């Protein structure tokens, strides 16, 4: 059985038919729900917030993977735990005291993730990698769905995989942005564990089959 995971990104769902899209993911071979929270400050876009997440959680039966693209995420750690997040990912670039933030996420019973913008080197995680459950490698500049995949991501994932093994950590590597059937296999070969896919899944004529195809590619 494959341990490689697929996490459809709700950002690309139809918000007027959100329950339908949540049920589609429930019934599919997807592993996680990827939930993008944007504040219009850390990234130049606003997505959705707590009330929407609350309603997603009411229907979702799989792991809730929340990606915070917000400044000063410490303000909301407790709130996201109460809302039902299982994994809470903050941006490296948004945290002045990253280690403290990671401890606070874990203290609330969630797994702690760190996202890296395309310009942020994986070497900056040398001193925290053992405290991180998930690194989300941004393969686009965060803020929007439907962007093109940045090719440098493969090298970055290889470096991160090496850092994780050197440090004896058990951190998972997640790739977020521009993921399709074209790059999925190579990403797994480089060391990825989780693929986030938004537009590729939701803009497909058959999202359930598209998820199954991605799952087959990574297995
Ligand atoms: C981008 C978000 C992604 C986005 C991915 O800022 O973090 O999760 O939803 O969308 P696609 O797969 O369309 O690039
Ligand atoms: Zn995301």
Read off the pLDDT of residues 143-202 as tens digits, 9 standing for 90 and up: 999 999 999 999 999 999 999 999 999 999 999 999 999 999 999 999 999 999 999 999
Pocket test for ligand 1, best of 94, 114, 140, 179 (most atoms within 8 A of CB): 140
In the chain, domain spans: 5-218
Task: Identify the residues whose C-beta falls under 6 Å from ligand 1.
Answer: 9, 11-12, 34, 36, 67, 140, 142-147, 176-179, 196-200
User: Which pLDDT score is estimated for 126?
Assistant: 98
- Tell me if residue 36 is catalytic: yes
Q: Which of 15, 36, 41, 192 to mutate to test the pocket of ligand 1 (most atoms within 8 A of CB)?
A: 36
Q: Extract the annotated binding site for substrate.
A: 9, 67, 143-146, 176-178, 198-199
Can you give the three-state secondary structure of the chain, one letter per residue?
CCCCEEEEEHHHCCHHHHHHHHHHHHHCCCCEEEEEEEECCCCCCECCCHHHHHHHHHHCCCEEEEEEECCCHHHHHHHHHHHCCCEEEEEHHHCCCHHHHHHHHHHCCCEEEEEECCCCCHHHHCCCHHHCCEEEEECCCCCCCCCCCCCCHHHHHHHHHHHHHHCCCCCEEEEECCCCCCCHHHHHHHCCCEEEECHHHHCCCCHHHHHHHHHHHHC
How far does residue 16's CA lie from ligand 2's centre (Å)?
A: 20
What's this model's pTM, rounded to 2 decimal places?
Answer: 0.98
pLDDT of residue 41 exceeding 70: yes
pLDDT, tens digit (0-9, with 9 covering 90-100), for 124-145:
999 999 999 999 999 999 999 9
Residues lying with their CB under 5 A of ligand 2, a single-atom ion = 36, 67, 176
Predicted confidence at residue 3, as pLDDT, reads: 87
Q: Which CATH architecture has domain 5-218?
A: Alpha-Beta Barrel (3.20)
Is 65 an annotated catalytic residue?
no
Indicate which residue of 21, 36, 39, 193 is catalytic.
Answer: 36
Query: Of the ligands numbered here, which is closest to the C-alpha atom of 198?
Result: 1
Q: Given a cut of 90, is residue 2 above it in pLDDT? A: no
Query: Which residues sit in the known binding site for a divalent metal cation?
Result: 34, 36, 67, 176
């Amino acid at each position: 059985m494959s341990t490689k995971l697929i996490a459809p990104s709700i950002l690309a769902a139809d918000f007027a038919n959100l329950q339908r899209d949540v049920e589609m993911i429930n019934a599919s071979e997807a592993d996680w729900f990827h939930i993008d929270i944007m504040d219009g400050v850390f990234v130049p876009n606003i997505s959705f917030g707590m009330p929407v997440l609350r309603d997603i959680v009411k229907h979702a039966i799989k792991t809730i993977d929340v990606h915070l693209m917000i400044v000063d995420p410490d303000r909301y750690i407790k709130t996201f735990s109460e809302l039902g997040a299982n994994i809470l990912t903050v941006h490296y670039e948004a945290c002045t005291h990253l280690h403290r933030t990671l401890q606070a996420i874990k203290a609330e019973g969630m797994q702690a993730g760190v996202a890296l913008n395309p310009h942020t080197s994986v070497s900056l995680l040398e001193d925290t990698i053992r405290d991180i459950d998930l690194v989300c490698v941004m393969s686009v500049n965060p803020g929007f769905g439907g962007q093109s995949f940045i090719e440098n991501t493969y090298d970055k994932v290889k470096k991160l995989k090496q850092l994780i093994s050197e440090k004896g950590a058990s951190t998972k590597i997640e790739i977020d942005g521009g993921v399709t059937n074209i790059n999925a296999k190579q990403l797994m070969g480089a060391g990825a564990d989780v693929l986030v896919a938004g537009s590729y899944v939701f803009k497909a004529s058959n999202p359930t089959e598209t998820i199954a195809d991605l799952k087959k590619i990574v297995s």
